[in-house]
Amino acid sequence: LPLIRAYRMLTGRNDLLLRSTRQAPWPAATRLVQPWLKRLAQGYVGLAVAGLLVLLLGGAQGRRRLGWAMLILVGLRVGALAFVGAVESRYLIEILPLLLVLDGVALAAAGSAIYRLLWSASLRSQ
């Protein structure tokens, strides 16, 4: 049950900014964006998990330590909230920057892998 709560909390529509004012400033834009918020959350959480795996499975010891630190920081926050049943996405605002950093790690690792693949292919063709 706490794992399901954590998943729902991480991938829920975080529309706090869109509904924080009395009247949404751009009602048409808000209605257009609202259905995509869940997919966006699933995407950046998936990338964050990939980035965490890159750090944890990386070769350098410093990267693994950073991965464990990130896992502990995010895991404790999400785990504590899921355990007590506070499952609204707004409680995760503090860890969103960490998730975005992990997204960057995943994208950088993917870009680096593509670059190495293309570089080795160009060397073989010469």
**pLDDT tens column, 24-39:** 666 677 677 777 878 8
Who's near 48: CB < 8 A, 6+ residues apart? 74, 98, 99, 100, 102, 103, 106
- The two tokens of residue 83 are 């355990």
Global model pTM greater than 0.85: no
pLDDT, position 53 = 93
